[in-house]
Homo-oligomer: A and B are copies of this chain.
């Protein structure tokens, strides 16, 4: 997905929000906004928004000197999600269709996103999403692919959401490789976050190699690209991964909540809709 004009004010907002989390020094934050503003010239519309994200969060690290501004927030998100885990497991175990409920829960976890300017109430919003209608619902195809697959590549998105991913992985019943970011960017899940979420118990964890808040193949390690191409089934969580992977040539199933008007428009859904969208899959 390319960058739209609306992304630029949003980038500036993200820089301000993250700058405030990283430091109380107003002059440093002003310098950050100045440099982000000056860098717009070098962010062409052909970039995916997450490529721009990589550049921006790099600047934030550089100017504030803080490597991982969201560290504490990520720890809290994981703690809160782990607290909810038993209740979510009950929901799955009592559901008519366990796989579908686990998918709903994995999508619900996608609200834990500090890259968008939306407040959320973890328990209330998650419970709402477990009952929400899908705007795109490729569940039948998802189930078919899953049945045939001997291995699954599952690309994670945010820390905390990772606990919700564990619940879906437990229902997939196939060997899963869980993919994380190379370095901390926004509140995206890293190896450390994945381990803290308990994902080491249910999946192999690898880094895609990207420093962007999403998966753009040409910014990933070759070893990851190979695994991406060879996996029997790819599950991609969240907006950032969708932005990078929406036009790839292989089959991918995207699980996300549309939290940004631009991504909602790209998916032809409304903001706040939930989506299970498959691309390039074979029906048989």
Taking Cβ atoms with an 8 Å cutoff, the residues of A that contact B are: 5-6, 8-9, 12-13, 16, 19-20, 26, 29-30, 33-34, 36-41, 45
Contact = CB atoms under 8 A, between A and B. Distances in A.
A281 to B, nearest CB: 33
Indicate how many identical chains form the complex. 2
Closest 10 CB pairs of A and B: A37-B37, A37-B40, A9-B12, A9-B13, A34-B41, A34-B40, A8-B33, A12-B12, A38-B38, A9-B9
A37 B13 CA distance: 13
A243 to B, nearest CB: 18
Contacts of A33: 5, 8, 40
Contact of A8 (B12, B38, B39, B40): B12
Contacts of A9: 9, 12-13, 16
A16 B29 CA distance: 22
A30 B45 contact: yes
A34 B30 CA distance: 17
Contact of A38 (B20, B29, B41, B45): B41
Given A38-B40, A38-B41, 15 more contacts: A5-B16, A5-B20, A5-B26, A5-B30, A8-B33, A8-B37, A9-B9, A9-B12, A12-B12, A12-B37, A33-B40, A34-B41, A37-B39, A37-B40, A37-B41
22 contacts: A5-B16, A5-B19, A5-B26, A5-B29, A5-B30, A5-B33, A6-B16, A8-B12, A8-B16, A8-B37, A9-B9, A9-B16, A12-B12, A12-B37, A26-B45, A34-B40, A34-B41, A37-B38, A37-B39, A37-B40, A38-B38, A38-B41
